[in-house]
Amino acid sequence: MDSKEAARQKTFNAEKKISIVRIIVIVFGTITFFFLDHKNIQENLAYPLLVLIWAYGLYIPLFKPYEKYPVFTASWFTYISDSVFATLWLIATGGFYSPYHVMFYTSIIAVSFRFNFSTTLFTSALYTVCYFGLLMYMGQLQDHEITAVVRMGFVFIIGFATNLITSETLFQTQQKVGMEKLMKEAQEHHEKLKQSQQKLKALNEKLQLKNDIFNHAEENAAIGSYSWDLATNNLEYSDNLFRILGCEPGAFKPTFETYLEFVHEEDRPAMISSWEESLQTKIIRPKYQRIILKDGTLKYLKTTGRMAGEGSNIVVIGTIQDVTPDMELNKVLQQKNIELERSNNELASFNYIASHDLQEPVRKINTFAKLIEDKEPALSEASAGYLTRIISSAVRMKHLIDAFLNYSKTDSSPLLYEFTDLNLVVDEAIDSLKERIEETNTTVEKLELPVLKGAKIQLQQLFINLISNAIKYRKNEVSPLIRIHAVKLHASQLPPHPAGAGASEYWKISVEDNGIGFDQKYSEKIFEVFQRLHNREQYEGTGIGLSICKKIAQSHEGFIIASSEGNGATFSIYLPA
């Protein structure tokens, strides 16, 4: 409750009290009126006034107009209406001889209950003027001057005393209202403080959670963080940075000098020089250094950071990562690269030997064997058979060397990868096998194939090998039928394979035949080098054609699988779309 509302409520309470006093005065006044000597009473004025006074006296407590109409509680309405009623009633009931001069006391009490001291003083003076004016008008002042002064003196005394009481009550009311307001404000402040504390607690919990996540991330990533105020030379480490240095958190006061004590003595000059350069350029470049822990353990660390601020207020913030596993792995990788390079050189040397030194004796064996066959017709049947075997073995040896060279060149030959139309590639492969296809009465059905990025020469070799393979392993007395078609798949639709999916979409190119097929348990073995499921007397070949197909698919970041249900075989090549 504010002070304005408190004053309003005080006025209403005063009106209630005044209404009760007014009724009592009217009741006793009416009784007294009928016992008066009616010789001095002006009845034509007294009776209407009496009725009006009763109407007014009952209307106020019954209907409480002061709560709806502020004019009833206005100071001017109070002292004017009361003074007019009191004066008229005194005229009607005998002036000085009227016992109703006490109405002035009741009226002044009403004013004191409602208003402040200045209004009460003004009203008392107004009533005094009215009273003395009335007595002068009626010619009664000279006979009763002293008594009239005493009566009006009582008006001032009653007004002053009543005002002291009401002022004290108002002060107590204001004090109570003030206390209630202070208590309300204190309660509101307490609630706001409580809410702020709850928010602060929630923020602290979030901050603690973020710190825990950050610390956990540092530990998992083997990273420590630091901040360095260059103006105050205050350097701070995260807990995990202490652990990276082989110490407990807070084990020593971080400084640049103490960090240098961990750095390998061969790396310290470069570390100092790099830091001096960073101070000049305000750029911190990543640095690698070796550190030695107290137990002698050697670690490799990577230092990064940046400078923030201007002028002399520069702060360096950054991270230090333990890259020891990466460096050790890099060493192993470098060693493997050296070994691989050595192996490649040896393979290149072997290819040269295979293509020159090995083929030359084979050619000579084949040449001289044919010369003997041509020049010596009188050989015995056994000798002729031996000679035929020598020529056959020489030819097979040459085919093996050629196949091996083709296999080794699949990875080593530099090729141009560009968008290639597989329709043209398959057509060229069919054209190169035209004679073989016609001899065996083979039918090749090709549906629409995609355009994809690849090496045209290798892709052509891939389809030549697969079509040749289908013709070779045909059924007796059945014309070979080869169907080639393609469909696009999402990576999630790929079958299980060791290579994994590197692209989001793939083309599945299928080459199906109606040949003899194979046992499904050999679906991986048939792609191994020099592996055959049939002997050479049944089906000729080197056992390397499908191995070349596998290497070509892998070089295109794809893979190839084979399947057979006993009635033909299907080779599916999966290449990135």
Identify whether the C-beta of residue 256 lies closer than 8 Å to the C-beta of residue 275: yes
SS in 3 state form for 310-358? Answer: ECCEEEEEEEEEECHHHHHHHHHHHHHHHHHHHHHHHHHHHHHHHHHHH
Strands (DSSP E) found in 469-554: 481-490, 505-513
367: number of Cβ within 10 Å:
12
Give the integer Cα–Cα distance in Å for 266 and 91.
Answer: 125
Bridge partners of residue 212, in order along the sequence:
none
Retrieve residue 401's tokens.
């060397």
Q: Residue 297 burial (CB < 10 Å; 0-12/13-18/19+)?
A: exposed
Give the integer Cα–Cα distance in Å for 49 and 556.
Answer: 122
Planar angle of CA 481, 428, 561, nearest 5 degrees: 55
Strands (DSSP E) found in 385-439: 418-421
SS in 3 state form for 230-293? Answer: CCCCEEEECHHHHHHCCCCCCCCCCCHHHHHHHECCCCHHHHHHHHHHHHHHCCCCCEEEEEEC
What is the end-to-end Cα distance of the chain in Å, rounded?
Answer: 79
Given the structure tokens 């009335």, which residue do they identify? 134
**414-447: string of b/e by CB count within 10 Å (b at 16+)?**
eeeeeebebbebbbebbebbeeebeeeebebebe
- The DSSP call for residue 538 is T
Torsion angles phi and psi, residue 319, rounded to 5: -130, 155
Domain assignments of the chain as residue spans, ordered by start: 3-184, 222-322, 337-413, 414-576
Identify whether the C-beta of residue 576 lies closer than 8 Å to the C-beta of residue 452: yes
Retrieve residue 156's tokens.
């001032």
Residue 509 has a pLDDT of 96
**Exposure of 481 in the CB half-sphere (CA atoms within 13 A):** 5
Q: Residue 166 burial (CB < 10 Å; 0-12/13-18/19+)?
A: buried
481 SS3 class: strand
- List the CATH code of the domain at 222-322: 3.30.450.20
Give the integer Cα–Cα distance in Å for 408 and 413.
Answer: 9
99 SS3 class: helix
**Residue 77 is which amino acid?**
F
Residue 380 has a pLDDT of 80
Residue 403 has a pLDDT of 62
C-alpha to C-alpha distances, 352 to 249, 371, 499, nearest whole angstrom: 63, 28, 31
Identify whether the C-beta of residue 114 lies closer than 8 Å to the C-beta of residue 14: yes
Give the integer Cα–Cα distance in Å for 524 and 529.
Answer: 11
Retrieve residue 27's tokens.
């009741």
Q: Distance between alpha carbon 450 and the CA centroid of its chain, in Å?
A: 42
Q: Residue 519 burial (CB < 10 Å; 0-12/13-18/19+)?
A: exposed
C-alpha to C-alpha distances, 208 to 199, 212, 213, 217, 240, nearest whole angstrom: 14, 6, 9, 14, 16
DSSP 349-400: HHHHIIIIIIHHHHHHHHHHHHHHHHH-TT--HHHHHHHHHHHHHHHHHHHH
Residue 175 has a pLDDT of 55
- The DSSP call for residue 520 is G
Retrieve residue 175's tokens.
């004090």
Give the integer Cα–Cα distance in Å for 101 and 94.
Answer: 10
Tell me which fold the domain 414-576 belongs to: Heat Shock Protein 90 (3.30.565)
Going residue by residue through the chain (577 aa), what tens digit of pLDDT does each one get? Answer: 555 666 667 667 777 777 787 788 778 778 877 776 666 677 788 788 888 888 888 888 888 887 777 777 776 777 677 777 777 777 777 777 777 677 777 777 777 766 677 777 887 888 788 888 888 888 888 777 888 788 888 888 877 777 777 665 544 555 555 566 767 777 888 788 888 888 888 787 777 777 666 666 666 668 888 999 988 999 999 988 898 999 999 999 999 999 999 999 999 999 999 988 988 888 888 999 999 998 989 999 999 999 888 777 889 999 999 999 888 888 888 888 888 777 777 666 666 666 666 667 777 787 878 888 777 777 787 887 887 878 777 776 776 676 666 656 655 555 678 899 999 999 999 998 998 999 999 999 999 999 999 988 889 889 999 999 899 888 888 899 999 999 999 988 888 876 666 788 999 999 999 998 888 888 888 888 766 665 555 566 566 788 889 988 988 889 999 999 778 999 999 999 8
Retrieve residue 14's tokens.
């005063």
Identify whether the C-beta of residue 196 lies closer than 8 Å to the C-beta of residue 287: no
